[in-house]
A and B are shown apart, each in its own frame.
Chain A
Amino acid sequence: MSAAIEGTFGGAGRRSLALPVTGLWRNGLLAAGTWLLASAVTYGLPDVITWGATELFAIVTLLGAAFFLVLSVTVHRLGGLGRTLVHYGPWFIVLGLWLAIWEVLTAKLGWLPKPFFSPPQGLLHVYVTDWERLLICVAYTGRLWGLGFFSGILVGFAGGVALGWSKRFAYWGMPLLKLIGPVPASAWIPCTFFLFPTTFHASIFLVALASGIPVAILTAAGVGQVNRSFYDVARTLGASNRFLIFKVAIPASLPNVFVGVFMGLYYSFAVLVVAEMLGAKFGLGWYLQFNTAYSAYANVYAALIIMALICAGLVRLLFVVRDRLLGWQKGIL
């Protein structure tokens, strides 16, 4: 503990001394301090119960501290990446603190007991020992999610355009959509078992349904809200119906479509666990259930973190796609 205190105070002391030097990243130093604290706590204090990767975790956090220490001097030379890092500086500080507190509450004091909670080294242990199986699970889930999500948003988008464009389509389709929309995914399982040749197809259907419905609803709303005079203008300029749909209605409703796709992305992740209940042999959802059944909660947390990171990454990617397609909105919003 004393080493940790020294670490943080040392960091603070150096900061105040070095402050006049240009280009020193203060938050980087503080982050190095908190990460060093986490490392010192992990290594210096005895565990209540033994966990596999205590020393490894201490090393990892120590490396993190060293990383931030180096960055605190060099970050201003890294250009765009450096600016991003600086932006998230406070997060890095809090992350180190969070790791230290988590460590103390679980492994060191045992206030949050096994098996319901796991210290960070417990999760690290899962990654170190079970990474092969996790990777396979990620791949299986990726296949299921990719097929389900993309087919879902494709069908949802096409259906939404039809619903928004054609009165007759909307007359029959909208009530159905509103009825189907709120039905939880697990309620479909009996039907899907009967309707689809394999459980894999049934799972794809569940993911597609979860991601397709918000896309359909928002696309329909978007197409329905297009300013009528856009159609008038296009028609006087000689536009056919086809042109009105593809060059007016769809581009005009694209901002709405993206809201639907974002919602679909979240729903599709939420439904993965249910979808992988259907006789899957691998997959993150399956992994979660399997380990919950065995009370291996460290594995559950480890898999959850992976899922959350993948989902966040995909959201990020979707933002990039959206900004590319909807660049014209810059300055309007």
Chain B
Amino acid sequence: MALAPAENAVANSIALDIEGVTHHYDLDGRNLQVLDDVSLVIEPGEFVALLGPSGCGKSTLLRLAAGLETPTVGNVLEDGLPIAAPNPDRILVFQDATLFPWRTVRDNVAIGLEARGLIREREYRIDEVLKLVKLEGFADVYPHQLSGGMAQRAALARALVNDPKLLLLDEPFGKLDSLTRLRMQNELLDLWKSAGFTALLVTHDVEEALLLADRVIVLSDRPASIVAEVRVDRPHPRRRDDAGLVALRRELLEKLGISHDV
């Protein structure tokens, strides 16, 4: 199944190489190390989940991949070239939808095209992606009129309209209710299959990681380093009561330092 998106991987996705990355933050003069020698190779079109305790530095890894920051030590490479600045090829979707409240859904989705001066040529894409995330009826609505799930869909549409080759997802469903979350997980999976981008998902939800990803990377507490790597060779759609997944879940929870009884 992991091969299916790889067919059109050449144009739609990129490889991400994280080479020996260590990262520090300077907080009020106090040095805070968040990443410790993290190395990771992500194939084009692959769906990788980063699993770890809250505040361990997973989000920092995404910010580095997005180009919002550069690592203190080490390299982050996109198809072999160092990432120096943000680029709409690699788009970050946050836990909060962070839609611009003064813009309608349509105008929020249009931001990427506007910012790059492509709005004239590709305006038709806006309606396409709105349809893709099932928001075609809400194009002219302001963000505060949307529910949490709809807002997060709009944020996804805002990313997808730029045809990203790497989608960086920072706990995108973390604040949604459990039913909406299940629905959104399936929708994300469909989008990933049809669009063929590389996906890097940060989550602290073991089931979410197992349901979606080809590979789950377990990170330690801060400063984060890679503790384990688990390949999930199950076809989609996956069932959460699949015996293989249940076994993997137990394994992952153990790696995260949580006992068998959970």
Contacts and interface: CB of A to CB of B under 8 A. Distances in A.
A237 B91 contact: yes
Contacts, number: 71
Contact of A332 (B90, B94, B101): B101
A328 interface: yes
Contacts of A251: 100, 102-103
Interface in B88-127: 88, 90-92, 94, 96, 98, 100-103, 111-112, 114-116
A248 to B, nearest CB: 7
Contact of A240 (B67, B90, B115, B145): B115
A227 B144 CA distance: 16
A316 interface: no
Of A233, A247, A329, most buried by chain B (CB within 10 Å of CB) is A233
Nearest to A331: B144
Of A237, A239, A240, A331, most buried by chain B (CB within 10 Å of CB) is A237
Contacts of B142: 328, 331
A328 B101 contact: yes
Contacts of A240: 115
B94 A237 contact: no
Contact of A236 (B68, B96, B144): B68
A237 B144 contact: no
A229 B94 contact: yes
A236 B90 contact: yes
A237 B145 contact: no
A254 B101 CA distance: 12
Given A248-B100, A328-B102, A234 B94 contact: no
A87 interface: no
Contact of A230 (B92, B98, B114): B98
B162 interface: yes
A329 B103 CA distance: 10
A235 interface: yes
A234 to B, nearest CB: 7
Interface residues of B, number: 28
A243 interface: yes
Interface residues of A, number: 23
A40 B113 CA distance: 71
A80 interface: no
A238 B116 contact: yes
A251 B102 CA distance: 7
B102 A232 contact: no
Interface string A219-260: 000000001011011111111100100011001101000000
A239 B98 contact: no
Contacts of A233: 92, 94, 98, 111, 158
Contact of A254 (B92, B96, B102, B112): B102
Interface of B: 63, 66-68, 86-88, 90-92, 94, 96, 98, 100-103, 111-112, 114-116, 142, 144-145, 158-159, 162
28 contacts: A229-B96, A230-B100, A233-B92, A233-B111, A234-B111, A235-B68, A235-B86, A236-B67, A236-B68, A236-B87, A237-B91, A238-B86, A238-B87, A238-B88, A240-B115, A243-B115, A247-B111, A247-B114, A247-B115, A251-B100, A251-B102, A252-B100, A252-B102, A328-B102, A328-B103, A328-B144, A331-B142, A332-B144
